[in-house]
Amino acid sequence: MWIKTGKWTLGMLLITLLVCRDGWARDHENALKVTARVDRTTVELYERLALEVIVEGPARSLPAPAGLQLEGLKIVGGPQSSTQVQMANGAWSSRLSYTYQLRAEKEGSWTIGPIPITFQGRTYQSNSITIQVKKPEAPPAQSGIDSDSNVPNDRQSDLFVWATVSNPEPFVGQPIEITYELFTRIKVVNFEPERIPEFSGFVVEDVELPERPVVTNRTLNGKEYATAVVHRAILYPTTAGDLTLEPFAVKFAVEVRGRDPFDDFFQSPFGPPGRSSLFSQHQQEIRQSNSISLHVRPLPVEGKPESFSGAVGEFELKASAGKTTVQVGEAIVVEATLTGQHGLKLLSIPPAASITQFKTYEPKAGDVVPNPARPGWSMRTVEYIYVPFEQGQFEIPGIEFSYFDPNSSSYKTLRSDPIAVFINPGPSGEGIPVMARDQRGEIRLLGKDIRYIKTSAPIRSHIEPYRTPWFWGSVLFPFPVIPAVVVMSRRRRKMLEDQGYARAIRARGESTRRLANARSLHTNASFRECLDEMAAAFRGYLSDRFNRPPASISPEVIRDALTSYGVGADRIDSVLDIWETLASVRFSPVNPDPDSIARLMDRVSECLDELEKSRWKARTARSCRSDRA
Amino acid sequence: MRLIFGLLLILLGMGKVSAEDSFQALFDRANRHFESGDMDSAQGIYETMVRQGCINLAVYYNLGNCYLHKGDIGRAIAMFLRAERISPRDTDLQANLALARSMIGQPVELPKVNVFIGWIQRLHRSLSTFELVVSALMAYFLTITASLAVTIDSRRRSRRRYIRIAVFSAILFAVGAIGLGVRVHEREFIETAVAIQDEVSARTGPGDHFTEVYQQQAGYEMRVLRHQGGWAEVRLGNGFTGWVPDDSIERL
């Protein structure tokens, strides 16, 4: 019962999980992305700036941002909108852009956003941006106008380009912002860069400006000007010393004032070309900005860390691993996030830590994106891949990143925490996987890596086993052994079955043993015992051969038996002579002569040898069988 | 006579030991070159060892690795197949052989075989010649011993048991002997080779003027049917037959 209930509950739980997962996936797919950005974060009082709100999402139509709450800033233009809609794989996706013209109304630090947008019952929010509004700086001098410019003199002061840098004494590698601003009192229909400086001695990172320039009104030397940024870039000095930034030349199409009485009425700088008076015409004007001298300071040699690779500014570093328990051959991805104000795009990526038990791959750095948690800062994510070769518990060292902090004029080193990982054994027989990044930068499995060479193997030349002598010896070994075993087994069986045969086979061996015993007794001067042993050997041999009890052996029996077996008369007489000699010597009251005993022993031995050699041996065996039958 | 025979044995043994010592020194040196990244020197030494008659799993395997690192897939596969003949179940070897095979431009599609036959073939391939020899010999001795026991032992119950053992071991011996026989036949009477050159035209006859049958890719494994005038008639695993230049293949 419990099992049934448990199964039902488990099933419902799984279904619920699937539904939730499906719902989450749909929500995730339908999520909107709302991004807010401005052309600059620091403006002077009453200066204009452009705010762009971008809404991206998987729908054909997207809602416009509403409820833009601003403090210290005022909307003076817009919104101008643009829409991009596309369909891919049966799914719509759109991108809406709304650009507002803002004007700074109060000094201080003001925050734009987060801007809310409601879509399909859900509210999404953009990032927030902080704008610094400061007092207007002193107006540029009239000397900023290029005297060599080939334009009428009376128009030079009405149209000029002014360059400013954020820091005239940066360190090598420290990013500085250069801004080229147009000042005009005449109507500019269009403009384009005529000559962009080479910026030799710098690495340049252009800053994207709004498509339509943001116009600000400023008063210089008592004259009212319309101003707009025409070019902005981040420069990274590469060498120390005094450097000069070349002028930036801009070609303008300006409207030449005619005698149209309505000119003043329609007069407006940066006006559209469509409203031209019948009496006005366009004229090309070229203006060059002022040159700027910089004093680039070298980085101090003392205290430079080994991991320093030229980053100058202010940075933060965090790292984490998605999965810390994996199998051998499975990739571990460590994601590090670098945050900083400038220079993230150009700085060298910290290298991956080298670990013996891991194969490491080139880190992949993502795009530089605004840091939502810290306005004005950007962030960049770097992926490190480690593929373990061995099982066990290991530690991936923290990622180290050093930079020079120009505010404190010192080097600083950031180090993320080490990450403990647990590697379980992987499936056997498979090679180590090889990962690589495809054209989109995604990691994919290329295949298996080449397994390493064998280094500890003893070098003995291999011979096919069937070519070796031991193989053929093993194969041929049974051929002589089998017949021998068969013969021996048959003999053994016969000896077990036929007692006469067994006695006949053992007769000579037994007599030889007894004669040897008699010889040792003779050596020890035990002559009587020697004679008894000799007689026992002789009698025992004959009784075994005749397959009779020892007590039944007599001269008559010997003669009859040997005669029936075809032994010659001389041999029979010799045997009987020994028989009688033994009997007489044994039972004689006189002590026997040792020499005669020795000679007798030799005679006995020779006699038994002769009998053994004679052919009656075989006949004895046959007759024994016939007797038994 | 005995003295001369003994001295001869000692001299032969010393000669073998001396050669093995020399091979070991060469092997260690080649490994050091490999570990330091000097693949050319390592390859040269391994090749010298092979030329001097060193037939060894580690030498073939390491030489195959050198070729594989340099992208010479054909020779790498040839070396791995030679190593496989010595130790067919070596996991490192199998991994690298599979990797090398996967790098062939257009692999040969092998025809499907019956499941049972495929299983038997895989089992046979997975056993080394030494294992086949040992198992066949063990079954051989067991059969003989059980047969002798039947002959010697007169007790009926024991004889029956020995007969069963003898029959069972005889079947095992027959299987082992067939497996060993097939292996000996493959090694001694069938010539196999691996293509070491890419984009070589296999033709209908031994000459460039014959019609092209198929394009040979480095790494193709094939059976050599015969040789004629610097050409070899080969058959691929999919049954394609053609004539290719002798120098475009490496015999195993």
pLDDT value at residue A567? 81
CB A98 within 8 A of CB A131: no
Q: Mean pLDDT in chain A?
A: 78
pLDDT value at residue A56? 84
**pLDDT tens for residues A158-198?**
888 888 888 888 998 888 889 998 888 888 888 888 888 88
Identify any residues that bridge with A360 across adjacent strands, giving them in sequence order. Answer: A386
What string of DSSP letters covers A457-523? Answer: --------GGGSHHHHHHHHTHHHHHHHHHHHHHHHHHHHH-HHHHHHHHHHHHHHHHHHHHHHHHH
pLDDT value at residue B5? 53
pLDDT greater than 90 at residue A63: no
B6 contact partners, CB below 8 Å, separation of at least 6: none
- Residue A531 vs residue A424, higher pLDDT: A531
Q: Using 50, 70 and 90 to split pLDDT, how confident is the model at A27?
A: very low
pLDDT value at residue A617? 53
Q: Which of B24, B29, B96, B126 to mutate to test the interface with A (most CBs of A within 10 A)?
A: B96
Put simply, whether B58 touches A (Cβ < 8 Å) is yes
DSSP A283: E
**pLDDT tens for residues A202-247?**
888 888 887 777 788 877 777 788 888 888 888 888 888 888 888 8
Q: Using 50, 70 and 90 to split pLDDT, how confident is the model at A145?
A: very low
**pLDDT tens for residues A287-334?**
888 888 899 999 988 888 888 888 888 888 888 888 888 887 778 888
CB A504 within 8 A of CB A621: yes
**pLDDT tens for residues A461-512?**
888 889 889 999 999 998 998 889 888 888 888 888 888 888 888 888 899 9
Distance separating alpha carbons of residues B159 and B147, to the nearest angstrom: 9
Question: Smallest CA–CA separation between B206 and chain A, in Å?
Answer: 33
List of chain B residues whose C-beta atoms are within 8 Å of the C-beta of residue A454: 57-58, 61-62, 92
Q: What percent of chain A has pLDDT over 90?
A: 7
pLDDT value at residue A616? 55
Q: Which of these ranges, B24-38, B73-87, B213-227, has the smallest mean pLDDT?
A: B24-38
pLDDT value at residue B181? 94
pLDDT value at residue A142? 40
With tokens 């260690």, the residue in question is B28
pLDDT value at residue A550? 84
- Residue B189 vs residue A62, higher pLDDT: B189
Q: What percent of chain B has pLDDT over 90?
A: 47
Q: Using 50, 70 and 90 to split pLDDT, how confident is the model at B224?
A: very high
Q: Using 50, 70 and 90 to split pLDDT, how confident is the model at B12?
A: very low
A128 contact partners, CB below 8 Å, separation of at least 6: A36, A111, A112, A113, A114, A372, A375
pLDDT value at residue A143? 38
- Residue A564 vs residue A16, higher pLDDT: A564
Q: Using 50, 70 and 90 to split pLDDT, how confident is the model at B4?
A: low
Find the DSSP H helices in chain B. Answer: 2-35, 39-51, 57-69, 73-86, 91-102, 115-126, 129-152, 156-189
Instruction: Name the amino acid, one letter, at A268.
Output: S
Q: Which of B23, B36, B54, B99 to mutate to test the interface with A (most CBs of A within 10 A)?
A: B99
Q: Which of A453, A462, A465 sits opposite B31 (nearest CB)?
A: A453
Most confident range, picked from A92-96, A133-137, A528-532: A528-532
Most confident range, picked from A60-64, A317-321, A516-520: A516-520
DSSP A297: B
Q: Using 50, 70 and 90 to split pLDDT, how confident is the model at A14?
A: low
User: If you average pLDDT over residues A50-77, what whole number do you get?
Assistant: 80
pLDDT greater than 70 at residue B3: no
Which residues of A lie closer than 8 Å to B, measured between beta carbons?
A: 428-431, 447-455, 457-466, 471, 474-475, 478, 482, 485-486, 489, 493
User: If you average pLDDT over residues A365-371, what whole number do you get?
Assistant: 81
pLDDT greater than 60 at residue A438: no
Q: Which of these ranges, A86-100, A385-399, B201-215, has the smallest mean pLDDT?
A: A86-100
Q: Which of A428, A457, A478 sits opposite B91 (nearest CB)?
A: A428
Q: What is the rounded end-to-end Cα distance, in angstroms, of chain B?
A: 42
Cβ separation A431–B98 shorter than 8 A: yes
- Residue A436 vs residue A283, higher pLDDT: A283
Put simply, whether B144 touches A (Cβ < 8 Å) is yes
CB A295 within 8 A of CB A171: no
0.90 surpassed by complex ipTM: no
pLDDT value at residue B44? 92
pLDDT value at residue B78? 94
Question: Smallest CA–CA separation between A249 and chain B, in Å?
Answer: 55
Q: Which of B24, B65, B133 sits opposite A466 (nearest CB)?
A: B133
pLDDT value at residue B130? 92
Q: Residue A368: what are its φ and ψ, rounded to 5°?
A: -85, 125
